[in-house]
Amino acid sequence: MTENRKVKAFVEESAILLQPNQIYWCDGSLAEATQLMEELVLQNKAIRLNQSLRPGCYLFRSDPSDVARVENRTFIASIDEKDAGPTNNWVHPDELKATMRQFFRGSMKGRTMYVIPFSMGPIGSHFSKIGIQITDSPYVVLNMRIMTRMGKSVLELLDQGSDFVPCLHSIGYPLNEGEMDPLWPCAPIEQKYISHFPEEKLIWSYGSGYGGNALLGKKCFSLRIASFIAKEEGWLAEHMLIIKVTNPLGRVKYFTGAFPSACGKTNLSMMVPSIPGWKVETIGDDIAWIKIGPDGRLYATNPEAGFFGVAPGTSVFSNPNAMKCIQKDTIFTNVALTDEGDVWWEGLTKSTPKHLIDWQGNDWNQASSSKAAHPNSRFTASIQNCPCISSNWEDTNGVPISAILFGGRRPDTIPLVLESTSWEHGVFLGSIMGSEMTAATISNEIGNVRRDPFAMKPFIGYHVCDYFNHWLSFTNRTKEELLPKIYMVNWFQKDQEGQFLWPGFGENARVLQWIFERCDQQVDTISTPIGKIPNPRDLNLDGLHISKNRFEQLFNIDPTSWKKEVTSIHNYYQSLGSTLPKVLKEQLEKLETYYT
């Protein structure tokens, strides 16, 4: 409880609308989490994993309709439709609230209403912002406890009068007297609403219990609402990992990287470099808040406190640090269960177990045609568990950024690495990012390439063209030479057989080395119409067996593909409307002189 009047009013008004059986204020303690988990195990909603193999670990299985973010049910309800822009779903806030109020009315009947005070960012840092999530999902409480700084310490800040973002959440499944509670209650897809009211700095989420739909500190607050605040206040809220890179001489640089959902942020943020003497440490794996520091450089912080990471593909070979991270005190959602009471997913082991229980609770064997783990199955683990966490991860002033990487899943067209020629050109590269869609969002377009500018398509809380302009404005806010260098990378090119051309994962350190050395002007570049690529002699390929032909393919800038690309960018830019920044149009026109 708190004496903060605004908090009390929010909780009281919510309770009147939602009509829960009881209200519970979360203190964030271990005892509280243990008790909640015990209750869920008794109700069969959580499965206690084999505690000698995975101490403190539990498995949840969601409803098959509630397995990922729902972008077509996600709304930016700005007062004026124009402010939401062409890439967001818009409904007038009054109309949306009226609709949602009907769903919220009585939606917590028969349930407990949990009040979760949380901080995004280290407590006491000038970066940090507070939220209060109201929810009827104990699963959400347990996940928020890992993903954010949650509980008592935040209540103390609220007692001192700190402001907060109200985050209202209900799974949308009231329980009437005597009614059976399903294992994963949620509302049907057409009743789900993930709504943002940017001017009011308010979040309402109804009908889903999964990931970014329900853990409101993450995408809803730290990206959609925060990006809106950041524009007002002159900073950036980005879908980016943050890493600390140390070279063999002990010199340190920090990089951030924006990659769309399920395109490699967690993996890059925890990578074990394949090249001797280099070290990568994690600051964040999904979100970066970035501000100009007193010296004019950009400083980044990770507002989260945990990882909500993609399970499939994670293994001791691809990401040994993540494997250590999820050894204990981890919540698994929608992965498969082994006969020993451990977890399994596609890509975890070289051979497949003979028998499993799949993510839907059914028997599964090697002859089964379906996946044992859902492609968007996830682990929730504390950043404290991460063996490669940087000692700087909670620096209250953030870490100074030397380079920004943009990357997507592109089977062709985009070379392994490309350096921008200026900040403006870098913003252009960010704006034209494309990527194959992944299972991180519910869609029937998975595998198709879509434009995902700055990996923020689903997360910009306002007009995409204003967002581009905001990025461009940084050359007026500080000296351009103090801004990070900007790179486009692509780990995902494929050969004719559909195999990845580049080994990826720890081998991506070779690209990081080149970027590191570029930041120090130690190596030069080759200019191309699309940007600067490495001089082949400068990319460290020691110990990597890659044919000359494959290497050339990785940097091939194919005119036929680029003609298509330029047409596609042209059409995309047209779809963004008349407020597209002129300088970006000019960047495209320059490219069009080479590729038409």
Q: Rule CB under 5 A: which residues touch Mn ion?
A: 261, 286
212 near ligand SPV (CB under 6 A): yes
Only segment of 113-121, 312-320, 362-370, 517-525 that touches ligand GTP (CB under 6 A)? 312-320
Which tokens sit at 414?
């985009």
Residue placing its CB nearer to Mn ion in the complex, 162 or 261? 261
Of positions 262, 372, 530, 566, contacts ligand GTP by CB under 6 A: 262
Which tokens sit at 584?
């970006």
312 near ligand GTP (CB under 6 A): yes
Residue placing its CB nearer to ligand SPV in the complex, 227 or 420? 227
Q: Which of residues 192-211 bind ligand SPV (CB under 6 A)?
A: 211
Angstrom distance (rounded) from CA 415 to CA 428: 16
Angstrom distance (rounded) from CA 424 to CA 293: 21
Which tokens sit at 45?
């909603």
Residue placing its CB nearer to ligand SPV in the complex, 85 or 217? 217
Q: Which of residues 428-447 bind ligand GTP (CB under 6 A)?
A: 440
261 near ligand SPV (CB under 6 A): yes
Count, residues near ligand GTP per rule CB under 6 A: 22
For the CB of residue 261, give the shortest distance to Mn ion in the complex, in Å. Answer: 5
Q: Where are the alpha helices (DSSP H) in 373-505?
A: 423-431, 464-472, 474-477
Q: Which of residues 413-442 bind ligand SPV (CB under 6 A)?
A: 440
266 near ligand GTP (CB under 6 A): yes
For the CB of residue 116, give the shortest distance to ligand GTP in the complex, in Å. Answer: 21
- Residue 138's φ and ψ, nearest 5 degrees, are -65, -25
Nearest C-alpha neighbor of 440 from the set 200, 229, 264: 264
219 binds, among Mn ion, ligand SPV, ligand GTP, none (CB under 5 to 8 A by kind): ligand SPV
Q: Answer yes or no: are the C-beta atoms of 40 and 46 closer than 8 Å.
A: yes
Angstrom distance (rounded) from CA 317 to CA 312: 13
Q: Which of residues 493-512 bind ligand GTP (CB under 6 A)?
A: 500, 504-505, 508
Categorise residue 398: left if φ over 0, alpha if ψ from -120 to 50, beta otherwise: left
Burial 402-434 (b: 16+ CB within 10 A, else e): bbbbbbbbbbbbbbbbbbbbebbbbbbbbbbbb
Q: Which residues contact 209 (CB under 8 A, 6 or more apart)?
A: 62, 66, 137, 139, 140, 171, 184, 185, 186
For the CB of residue 165, give the shortest distance to ligand GTP in the complex, in Å. Answer: 21
Instruction: Assess whether 263 carries a catalytic annotation.
Output: yes
Residue 175, exposed/middle/buried by CB under 10 A (0-12, 13-18, 19+)?
Answer: middle
457 near ligand SPV (CB under 6 A): no
Residue 464, exposed/middle/buried by CB under 10 A (0-12, 13-18, 19+)?
Answer: buried
For the CB of residue 259, give the shortest distance to Mn ion in the complex, in Å. Answer: 8
Only segment of 119-127, 305-313, 353-361, 585-593 that touches ligand GTP (CB under 6 A)? 305-313
For the CB of residue 560, give the shortest distance to ligand SPV in the complex, in Å. Answer: 32
Amino acid sitting at position 405: L
Residues engaged in binding ligand GTP (CB under 6 A):
259, 261-267, 285-286, 309-310, 312-313, 318, 440, 491-492, 500, 504-505, 508
Q: Indicate which residues carry an active-site annotation.
A: 263
Residues engaged in binding ligand SPV (CB under 6 A):
69, 211-212, 218-219, 261, 286, 308, 440
